[in-house]
């Protein structure tokens, strides 16, 4: 089977990006898988600590296995934004395909030491597990649509030299740098620092994938440019949450007598499919499996 790291390598040489979509419900999982099957894209499903506690780690694994069989496409689970070594080990033990160990709020040496431990633990289990580390940090939360303007503090952005040191020391498969995007959606459109992406890409090895978090609310042209500059993986969460939740609210409002959830969430699933379809086209991820 083609591994997730294989897809990143193909994406890097072909200048496209693997889409990463967060879910917390089965119907959302299906909405992503429906579109990935329709378009021939690998499905990378993100589950933050909160999302995987909600769905259940073992249940998430069982769903991955069942949907792989049902859809006949590569489906990978990523333990997104895992904030401790123990939580990362737990996801590796459960069988996740990918771990994002995010110790970016710690100082650099602690971040390196913790990430290194997770890489070693993952390699012991299987060389197919893809591990992502993070240097620099995003200042906001993916569960929010902010009514205010949010500035990106310069000290939160990734210094290319630190990124290089981090990658060399930890041996990660993917690096998430902070390059101007935000988690969540702000009143202002975030500006990607393309120059910084270019510098980081030039200084880290080709086999290390570059990940853009906070893909929601970024201009399409910026995403295209970022991918051309060397981003191989784009995370989308808030735009999916907005599409899903707003459609669900509308269904409930339109038919207040309806209480069958599977009927109410059909419009929400469709709203999510529209966003996933749009993003996969934007990322150049169509017909890649
Ligand atoms: Zn993120």
Centre of ligand 1 from the C-alpha of residue 213, in Å: 4
Percent of the chain residues past pLDDT 70, beyond the cut: 100
Tokens of 74: 């590569």
Catalytic residue numbers? 80
Q: How confident is the model at residue 1 (pLDDT cuts 50, 70, 90)?
A: confident
Q: How confident is the model at residue 157 (pLDDT cuts 50, 70, 90)?
A: very high
Tokens of 167: 């990658």
Percent of the chain residues past pLDDT 90, beyond the cut: 95
Centre of ligand 1 from the C-alpha of residue 259, in Å: 34
Q: How confident is the model at residue 137 (pLDDT cuts 50, 70, 90)?
A: confident
Q: Are 2 and 215 in contact (CB under 8 A)?
A: no
DSSP H/E element including 201: helix 194-203
Centre of ligand 1 from the C-alpha of residue 102, in Å: 9
Predicted local distance difference test score (pLDDT) of residue 274: 98
Q: Is the model's pLDDT at 144 over the cut of 90?
A: no
Q: What is the DSSP letter of 185?
A: B
Predicted local distance difference test score (pLDDT) of residue 20: 98
């Amino acid at each position: 089977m083609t591994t997730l790291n294989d897809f990143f390598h193909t994406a890097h040489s072909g200048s496209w990006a693997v889409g990463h979509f967060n879910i917390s419900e089965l119907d959302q999982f299906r909405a992503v898988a429906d579109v990935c099957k329709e378009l021939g894209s690998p499905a990378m499903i993100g589950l933050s600590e909160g999302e995987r506690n909600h769905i259940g780690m073992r249940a998430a694994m069982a769903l991955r296995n069942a949907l792989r069989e049902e859809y006949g496409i590569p489906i990978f689970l990523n333990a997104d934004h895992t904030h401790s070594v123990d939580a990362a080990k737990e996801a590796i033990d459960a069988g996740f395909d990918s771990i994002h160990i995010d110790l970016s709020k710690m100082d650099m040496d602690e971040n390196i030491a913790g990430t290194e431990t997770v890489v070693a633990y993952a390699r012991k289990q299987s060389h197919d597990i893809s591990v992502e580390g993070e240097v620099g940090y995003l200042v906001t939360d993916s569960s929010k649509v902010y009514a205010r303007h949010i500035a990106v503090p310069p000290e939160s952005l990734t210094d290319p030299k630190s990124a290089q040191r981090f990658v060399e020391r930890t041996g990660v498969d993917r690096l998430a740098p902070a390059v101007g995007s935000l988690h969540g959606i702000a009143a202002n459109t975030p500006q990607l620092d393309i120059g910084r992406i270019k510098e980081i890409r030039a200084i880290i090895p080709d086999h290390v994938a570059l990940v853009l978090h906070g893909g929601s609310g970024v201009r399409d042209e910026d995403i295209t440019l970022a991918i051309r500059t060397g981003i191989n993986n784009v995370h989308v969460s808030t735009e999916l949450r907005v599409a899903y939740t707003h459609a669900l609210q509308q269904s409930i409002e339109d038919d207040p007598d309806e209480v069958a959830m599977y009927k109410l969430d059909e419009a929400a699933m469709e709203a999510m499919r529209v966003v996933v379809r749009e993003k996969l086209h934007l990322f150049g991820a169509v017909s890649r499996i």
